[in-house]
Structure 1
Amino acid sequence: MDYGSKNGPEAKQIEVRSRTCSLMSCLSDDSPQLIQTLREKYIEKPGSGDYNFTIPVDQYRSNKTRPSKMTYKVDKEIFKGKIKDGFFVEAGAYNFERGSTSLYYELEHNWTGLLVEPFSRFYDEGIQKNRKAYSINSCLSLVDRPSVIKYSILTEGLNEDGPLALQCFPLYSLLLAVGSPTVHYFSLDIEGGEFQVLKTIPWDKVDIWVLCIETHFVGERSEGSRDDLIEYLHERGYIHLDGFNEEYAHFVHTVTREVVPIRDDFFIRQDIFYKYYLN
């Protein structure tokens, strides 16, 4: 998600820490060697102490829409507040607090999950928040194996012309490394490349209920269109909740400098749609 203040002329001078290993690109997404490496060297376990947020936890709990208005809406209108001790994946987790699409579930319903953030400066801020979730300072691979991909700080996303090389892993590999949980809510916000990440997922091997996908850069920074993405997920058994999203934030386009509304598309698996959304 674009927050404006993260970008600026000084952004190019920011150093980014990245552990890359091109040899891992030879490993399949379910390689035991890869899964073990992720567990031992890359994935941080959930925190166990007190939270360390910029505001008191009670303020988040008393104002449930503070972390994310749309996350609150998903819980009330789709899950009906019934899912306790669930699991989320938030890709593009920034500093694990500001604008978080998963924090509400953690505080309100005792969920845990996986926080993915490629930019080490934001990740280092996030790890200090002591979230009760796994985390990894990496990006999601655009292919079904580990890969090293260029990253741009200015666009906050994967970019073949970016100056930084980041180690990326398939989502499926990360899920295997944390025990193959049911993913009740998957938030995918990586500033382009969302469609490619979805194509890496072996849908017959995962259990993902609801997806929130940022789509205003689909077709602009990567191949495929928003319609292609919607059709792709439809073919895999997901219903597009057209009109579910509300216009809640804007960003300044890095090229045109236009003020553009953030567009998220929501999808729910058919069986979950009939079990929860229509019930």
Structure 2
Amino acid sequence: MQEAPYGKRCPRPTLRVCLLCLGSIILVGILKTPLDSLWSIDCSPPLACDQISSDISDAMSGRKERLKQDDPRLIEKIRTQYLDPPSLQPYQLTVGDDPSQGQSSAIRKIMGEFRDGFFVECGALDGETRSNSLVFEKTLGWRGLLIEGDPKNYELVRKKNRKAWTVGACLSTKPYPHSVMFEQQFNLGKISSNDVDFTLNMTGVIAVQCLPLYSLLLALNVTTVHYFSLDVEGFELEVLKTIPWDKIDIQTLSVEYIHGSWSKLELKHYMKQRNYWSYNEVALPEGWGNDFIFVKNTYKKKIDYLKSSLRLE
């Protein structure tokens, strides 16, 4: 009988048997693999794993889990689900370039006609009315971030077509993201309670997400803020205490003080501990603009500023 030549392929039935055996071995291996191992598969890109291992929706309320401000999952969630980019459409504004109540003028005296800076304005209202940041955006080419917690006001912000990033959220009063009850009152809207109670059925009070300032800046890859305008109707000091000052360079601030449970002295003392000096107090007879202007010592020392001011006079 003639021998089969070397390397001759298996007959088709034999090949099928081989494939069935191989499939059985793989199936047994899968069945013996712990479920935890299957769920921990590293997906690429990372967002594909959100529904498997990286979903932090339950942690955003701050009740079950306290996320770190620099948690990569939080930063990615802010980038993809909260931040809205600057508008490419023409402005839809009704007032002049500077509707501020004196805060922006004070900052310009300190910084001069500094161009291409970065601002953060929290308490953006409608993006125009009494805006402290608009003049920097329109006349000096600054970029920035507008933060507004009231959903009704935030819709108005978006309609103004500001050339800044925007986010419809509150700034956290704790060093992690959390939810609050928010009273909707246009320019007097504020946090009602740091604890969300979904059983409440009150007109004009809604649950709102709060995000840490540091987390928002990380999502934008920003570490230097040239001007931070903070007006959150009484929770300014609480917001300031969440900031990791060694990780963010905030050069100037305007901070409203009129509605807080803390005193003006407490606010100034806290900022002094953070290496800031008080430039002046902005307060108008009409009751608007009850702010302190703070300057970082490493940006401009008080004595140096006073000397330069005297020379200009």
Residues 89, 114 of structure 1: 8 Å contact kept: yes
Q: Does 1:135 align with 2:166?
A: yes
What is the TM-score with the length of structure 2 in the denominator?
0.71
Q: CA deviation at 1:238?
A: 0.3
Q: CA deviation at 1:68?
A: 4.2
Task: Give the residue type in structure 2 aligned to 1:263.
Answer: N
Residues 92, 117 of structure 1: 8 Å contact kept: yes
What is aligned with 2:190?
A: 157
What is aligned with 2:178?
A: 147
Deviation per residue, 1:223-274 (Å, 9 max, x gap): x3221111111011000124x4242642xxxxxxxxxx54111110012223
Specify which of 7, 20, 28 is matched with residue 68 of structure 2. Answer: 28
Task: Give the residue type in structure 2 aligned to 1:277.
Answer: Y
What is the TM-score with the length of structure 1 in the denominator?
0.79
Return 5+ residue gaps in structure 2 as ranges: 1-55, 196-201, 309-313
Inter-partner Cα distance in structure 2 for 1:47 and 1:218: 34
Q: CA deviation at 1:103?
A: 0.0
Judged with a 3 Å threshold, the aligned counterparts in structure 2 of structure 1 residues 246 and 23 are, in CA distance, closer, same or farther, namely closer
Return 5+ residue gaps in structure 1 as ranges: 1-19, 251-260
Q: Does 1:264 align with 2:291?
A: yes
Inter-partner Cα distance in structure 2 for 1:248 and 1:135: 31
Q: Give 1:191-206 correspondences, 5 Å limit.
A: 191-206=233-248
Q: CA deviation at 1:53?
A: 1.3
Q: CA deviation at 1:174?
A: 0.6
Inter-partner Cα distance in structure 1 for 2:215 and 2:90: 29
Deviation per residue, 1:189-221 (Å, 9 max, x gap): 0101111000000000001000100000121xx
Q: Give 1:86-101 correspondences, 5 Å limit.
A: 86-101=117-132
Judged with a 3 Å threshold, the aligned counterparts in structure 2 of structure 1 residues 137 and 265 are, in CA distance, closer, same or farther, namely same
Task: Give the residue type in structure 2 aligned to 1:169.
Answer: L
Question: Per the alignment, in what secondary structure is the counterpart of residue 173 of structure 1?
Answer: helix
Task: Give the residue type in structure 2 aligned to 1:78.
Answer: I
Using CA pairs under 8 Å that are at least 6 residues apart, name the structure with larger relative contact order, 1 or 2.
1
What is aligned with 1:48?
A: 88
Q: Does 1:79 align with 2:141?
A: no
Question: Per the alignment, in what secondary structure is the counterpart of residue 205 of structure 1?
Answer: coil
Inter-partner Cα distance in structure 2 for 1:247 and 1:185: 21
Q: CA deviation at 1:101?
A: 0.5
Residues 48, 130 of structure 1: 8 Å contact kept: yes
Q: Percent identity?
A: 36
Task: Give the residue type in structure 2 aligned to 1:215.
Answer: Y
